[in-house]
Structure 1
């Protein structure tokens, strides 16, 4: 009977099996249909060093590509981006810059994935020269030290770095530097900072491509100074001109804020300005000093301190003491000639007593005295005229006596 089951109506049985398979396929497609899906996959670049011999670098217009495929809905959740591998090969580079994108299905999923496509199918590759440029490393502080302290200096090691990359990217960089946080510190501090890139406007550049530095970690050393208010002292020297005297000195401002290491600034109470010379002056002296030019090494102005200091030295004229010689005033004018007194220009009746010495010295003194009289005679012609007129007046006074004697003689004879 079993034999009859397999040998009778064979054609009908084959048709039944085929029909059952079709029905199964239809059921499967209805309950678990095939669906389309897309995954974003990172694009790999092969043969990256192919342009190094020509001192050129490359860049690709994208880092990811999209892969579309078909899969049954019941296994769709089993598919991930790691099941695909997308890449380009720089050896395929042509003058157009377009390089084809290849895709592979991994992890044995090719049996359940159909109609795999990549979008876009080509990538744009740009080739340009490599540039190496040296930059000085600038320093920038973040925050402020503790109140009463200031940042005196920041030393970097090294002080410069070399950047290498595409010309277009290096051209975007205007400067490089490090940012040092000094918030709340009151003593010297050492540390390490990372290089930061800036554009021409001082903005930070974070999206540079294919740019590298020969060193990225920079050592720094911060020196902190303590601030203190110091009084200013001004001094003068010399003597004003005759008839003038020194009165007072005013310093504005009379104190300044200086900064130095704690061991130096704590021992300071006053700062002496350069001495002002008053020799021969006839008016007040106003001098402006630039403190930054006179501060010794290791001492500097406070952060908000103006360097200009003005010193005013007042000079006053001595008052006029009047005409009294005893009070320093001028001597009285000479009195006019009195009767019987010495005439102007004539030597006084007092004799000039020679000083003790040799005869030669006495004669020399007499010789020196005579020219002085001659000078008085030369300078006072009126006195000379008065001297010449005196004998004539004497003669006129003696003539009356002679007249009286003549008249008495005539009377006797009569």
Structure 2
């Protein structure tokens, strides 16, 4: 009986199939219990394909919002799902599938997501289905790359020429983005360096507010450029300047004041060693006819360039120069006639003056005039070859230094008489009186004038004293 039952079960095909199905179900239940399903969410950037299709139309796609970030989740056995990350998926939007017949400015491009592994065991469910874009005019511009540095070189060193190769960058992209680009720069770090340095860097785009511009829609013909910085020596040198011309009469040039009076320059060592000062040509400052102090601002860059050097601080190129002009004082000194040194007088002659003193006008700066005394002024009179009679002769005045100047010529009236001459007879005097009474009257008037001159000289002496 038992054998008959066993034989019936073994030879029953339906039971065999049922047993297999039950085994599979049991295996699946066991697997599910051991490796249950789980869900995991991802946010992955969309890779936009075939942009050239839009570029051929003179357009460029501009993503609306954050629709270029695809959000999706996967479901599958824990053992597979836990091992997957965003890099395990291909997330693309193919612009060749763009339908330009869509209404409105915003166009939809389907987003396709596929797993690079375990695709047989997981299910992908998209939350972001389409990439939303607008088509904007394509713009292309060229920019000169500006070289910039950060940091401070080693002590005693300065930054020389900084060059970028290549220095021209072609940028294409949406007009709204390209139009915002104000400048492009490449930066190299020179902190603590004492020798020339170079580096490969990525150019950075900036807007008018000096804020960086980044966009995946921009394309550049150079992803990186080479920047080189030349490191030079430094030296502090004084400023030297001369003037041309002469101040107005009665004024004196006292010198120059500089601010700053020295500058820090940079250059090659052999050039720096040959420079002792920065000399500004005298024709830069002309004081012809000057009557007062003045200030002038001088740009020293041209003179540095001639010497083969430049400023460490490029903004310190203006030197303020003050030209010192001072007015002189004028004072009259009455020199007593007995102080006049006479030379060339014949031994047989004697000399007399028409007055008791001679006025001498002297001009000098106040600081010198305050120290000038009448005793330091000498006067000399040369009467060589002069015959007896009345004479008006120029007096030679010697002042105690070049800081003093005589403002006008001094002339003195003298009378020379022969000590050995015979006295005139009464007859001669009578004839002279008879023949020239009118002349005698005129001579009397002349004596009055001489007397007045003498009084005037006496008054000058009193005034001076």
- Tell me which interval the TM-score lies in, with the shorter structure as reference length: 0.5 to 0.7
Q: What is the match of residue 90 of structure 1?
A: 95
Q: Match for 2:220 among 204, 213, 216?
A: 213
Instruction: Tell me if structure 2 keeps the 8 A contact 1:162–1:213.
Output: yes
Q: What is the match of residue 33 of structure 2?
A: 31
The Cα RMSD (Å) is: 4.6
| Closer, same or farther: CA 3–215 of 1 in aligned 2, 3 Å | same
Gaps of 5+ in 2: 335-356, 360-378, 380-395, 398-408, 416-431, 433-437, 446-465
Q: What is the match of residue 60 of structure 2?
A: 57
Mapping 1:14-413, distance limit 5 Å: 14=15, 21=22, 24=26, 28=30, 31=33, 35-40=37-42, 42=44, 43-59=46-62, 61-69=67-75, 71=76, 86-94=91-99, 95=102, 97-104=107-114, 109-110=119-120, 112-113=121-122, 116-205=124-213, 207-235=214-242, 244=250, 246=252, 248-253=254-259, 255-261=261-267, 262-275=269-282, 283=291, 285-292=293-300, 295-297=303-305, 298-303=308-313, 305=316, 307-314=319-326, 316-317=328-329, 319-322=331-334, 324=358, 326=379, 331=411, 386=441
Please identify the structure whose Cα radius of gyration is greater. 1
Instruction: Tell me if structure 2 keeps the 8 A contact 1:235–1:274.
Output: yes
Gaps of 5+ in 1: 336-348, 350-382, 391-414
Deviation at 1:189, TM superposition (A): 4.3
Q: Which has the higher strand share?
A: 2
Instruction: Tell me if structure 2 keeps the 8 A contact 1:128–1:167.
Output: yes
| Closer, same or farther: CA 331–195 of 1 in aligned 2, 3 Å | same
Deviation at 1:216, TM superposition (A): 3.4
Deviation at 1:277, TM superposition (A): 5.4
Q: What is the match of residue 372 of structure 2?
A: none
| Closer, same or farther: CA 271–128 of 1 in aligned 2, 3 Å | closer
Deviation at 1:202, TM superposition (A): 1.0
Instruction: Tell me if structure 1 keeps the 8 A contact 2:258–2:319.
Output: no
Task: Give the TM-score normalised by structure 1.
Answer: 0.63
Task: Give the TM-score normalised by structure 2.
Answer: 0.57
How many equivalent residue pairs? 338
Instruction: Tell me if structure 2 keeps the 8 A contact 1:233–1:272.
Output: yes
| Closer, same or farther: CA 157–289 of 1 in aligned 2, 3 Å | same
